[in-house]
């Protein structure tokens, strides 16, 4: 049996499969340079690439796929070795003519999908994150519509698109949705989605391997390049230099660029001005924290993906009211309740939700500061914040000061002496007196009680 000729024929078939599944651009860039090395009568297939950077990339993304492909044709193959071709001593390489793939691809091969859409270290696009699963309202409508517009085929109306907002508010969801929609419209598109941290890691690896050319070529050839969490390259001078040239090349080629961060371009401390200026030249859209109506709608939408889950309205109201900052945390809390109920066989009600999510609900409580309380109280009573810490004893100042102390005791974890110091260096007995006085007035004075209720609603969000 001629093991070498069998391996050569198998390699021709495997190359055909890879070309069809990966697409021409990805195949030509990463897989076509692979060559089959004549390893003799062994159970290991040896493949070689011209650089260490390309070798590492193919190992990370195609090692399992290559083993499955070869085993489907040559069952005796146990492993595939992906090596870097030596510049000084070139190994013996088998010349191969690609063989047309059979009409039916073996099941063992079909079960392993190549990462066509996202040729980088991130997982493929998440099928859950699509435009039709994104709940829209005034807080995110501009970002949503901008994402849909950028995903349309043809010349982009704008680029880059810069999305910013707090953690867990939907930026990553929109990036995946943009990628999925654009890939559906342009199936052959080369789409790259990666974090800024991954960008930095890959760039450093390429420099160490002395092969930055392949890194630059891969990113700058993207039809749609999406970088998440840009704030993580702050202060990284070499990475920022490469990032600047990358975005310039992508934009100069008329391709699409989407960048996400936790703040607007001008707020990115430690990121070069030329980068923030370039990113501001497209469309900048923010995603604000969801209000109660949106949080409630998100929970209703999430329940659609949980067939059989019976969650009463008062539990949804509790989650929407208490978990206010992060959509991700909100959805996670709902998922936790449903999972615990299924595992324990218990019925979901308010008591069950509170018992299950006690730590989450406590952690989600808004941290109000004494400074915020003083600003809110002085604005409500049309005073200057400095009046609350002054020595003035007139009732028009003393009563608001007592209300502010009462709220500080109720809404913060500060000790009585700490609260006193924040109000002009007063001692803890003054704070105790203020708290007791306002508690008594709330029972007898409707105006004071109404003012306290209004301030509580404002401060608790």
**Assigned architecture for domain 292-364:** Orthogonal Bundle (1.10)
Q: DSSP secondary structure string, 165-202?
A: ESTTSSHHHHHHHHHHHHHHHSTT--EEEEEHHHHHHH
CA atoms of 67 and 165, how far apart (whole Å): 43
Cβ burial 38-55 (10 Å sphere, 16+ → b, else e): ebeeeeebbbbbebbbbb
Q: Per residue in 341-397, pLDDT tens? A: 988 899 999 889 888 887 777 655 556 789 889 999 999 999 988 889 888 889 899
One pLDDT digit (tens) per residue for the chain, 461 residues: 456 677 888 888 888 888 877 767 677 778 888 988 865 556 788 898 888 778 877 887 788 788 888 888 888 888 888 988 764 334 333 333 343 444 443 433 333 333 333 333 334 688 889 999 999 988 899 999 999 999 999 889 899 999 998 878 899 999 999 999 999 999 888 999 998 988 998 898 888 888 888 888 888 888 999 999 998 888 888 899 999 999 999 998 899 999 999 888 988 888 999 999 999 999 999 998 888 889 999 999 888 888 888 899 999 998 988 887 788 888 888 989 999 998 889 999 988 988 888 777 765 555 678 988 999 999 999 998 888 988 888 989 999 999 999 999 988 878 888 899 999 889 999 999 999 999 999 988 888 988 998 898 888 76
User: Looking at domain 3-110, what is its CATH homologous superfamily?
Assistant: DnaA, N-terminal domain (3.30.300.180)
pLDDT of 441: 93
Structural class in CATH, domain 131-287: alpha beta
Stretch (H or E) spanning 67: helix 52-73
Domain 131-287 shares a fold with domain 292-364:
no
**Assigned architecture for domain 370-460:** Orthogonal Bundle (1.10)
Q: Per residue in 96-152, pLDDT tens? A: 334 344 444 343 333 333 333 333 333 468 888 999 999 998 889 999 999 999 999
Domain map (residue ranges) of the chain: 3-110, 131-287, 292-364, 370-460
Q: Which residue has the tokens 């929407």?
A: 320
Rounded-to-10 torsion of CA 224, 229, 230, 236? -130
């Amino acid at each position: 049996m001629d093991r070498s000729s069998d391996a050569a024929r198998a390699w021709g078939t495997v190359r055909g499969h890879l070309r069809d599944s990966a697409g021409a651009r990805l195949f030509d860039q990463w897989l076509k340079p692979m060559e089959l090395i004549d390893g003799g009568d062994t159970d290991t297939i040896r493949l070689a690439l011209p650089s260490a950077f390309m070798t590492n990339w193919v190992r990370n993304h195609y090692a399992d796929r290559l083993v499955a492909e070869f085993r489907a044709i040559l069952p005796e193959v146990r492993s595939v070795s992906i090596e870097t071709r030596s510049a000084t001593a070139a190994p013996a390489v088998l010349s191969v003519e690609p063989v047309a793939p059979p009409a039916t691809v073996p099941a063992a091969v079909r079960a392993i999908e190549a990462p066509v859409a996202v040729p980088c270290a991130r997982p493929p696009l998440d099928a859950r994150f699509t435009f039709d699963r994104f709940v829209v309202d005034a807080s995110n409508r501009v970002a949503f519509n901008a994402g849909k517009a950028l995903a349309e085929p043809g010349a982009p109306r704008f680029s880059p698109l810069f999305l910013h907002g707090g953690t867990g508010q939907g930026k990553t969801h929109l990036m995946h949705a943009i990628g999925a929609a654009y890939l559906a419209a342009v199936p052959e598109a080369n789409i790259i989605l990666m974090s800024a941290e991954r960008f930095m890691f890959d760039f450093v690896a390429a420099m160490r391997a002395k092969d930055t050319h392949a890194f630059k070529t891969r990113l700058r050839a993207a039809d749609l390049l999406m970088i998440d969490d840009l704030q993580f390259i702050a202060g990284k001078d070499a990475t920022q230099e490469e990032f600047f040239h990358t975005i310039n090349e992508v934009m100069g080629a008329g391709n699409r660029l989407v960048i996400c961060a936790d703040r607007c371009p001008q707020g990115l401390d430690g990121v070069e001005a030329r980068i923030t200026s370039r990113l501001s030249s497209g469309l900048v859209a923010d995603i604000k924290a969801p209000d109660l109506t949106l949080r409630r709608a998100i929970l209703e939408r999430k329940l659609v993906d949980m067939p059989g889950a019976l969650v009463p309205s008062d539990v949804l109201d509790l989650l929407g009211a208490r978990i206010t900052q992060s959509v991700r945390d909100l959805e996670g809390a709902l998922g936790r309740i449903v999972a615990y109920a299924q595992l324990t066989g218990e019925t979901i009600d308010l008591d069950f939700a509170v018992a299950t999510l006690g730590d989450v609900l406590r952690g989600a409580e808004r941290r109000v500061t004494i400074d915020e309380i003083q600003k809110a109280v002085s604005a409500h009573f049309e005073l200057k914040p400095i009046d609350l810490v002054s020595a003035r004893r007139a009732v028009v100042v003393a009563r608001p000061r007592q209300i502010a102390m009462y709220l500080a005791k109720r809404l913060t974890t500060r000790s009585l002496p700490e609260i006193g110091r924040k109000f002009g260096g007063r001692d803890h007995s003054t704070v105790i007196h203020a708290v007791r006085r306002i508690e008594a007035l709330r029972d007898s004075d409707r105006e004071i009680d109404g003012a306290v209720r209004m301030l509580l609603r404002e401060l608790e969000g």
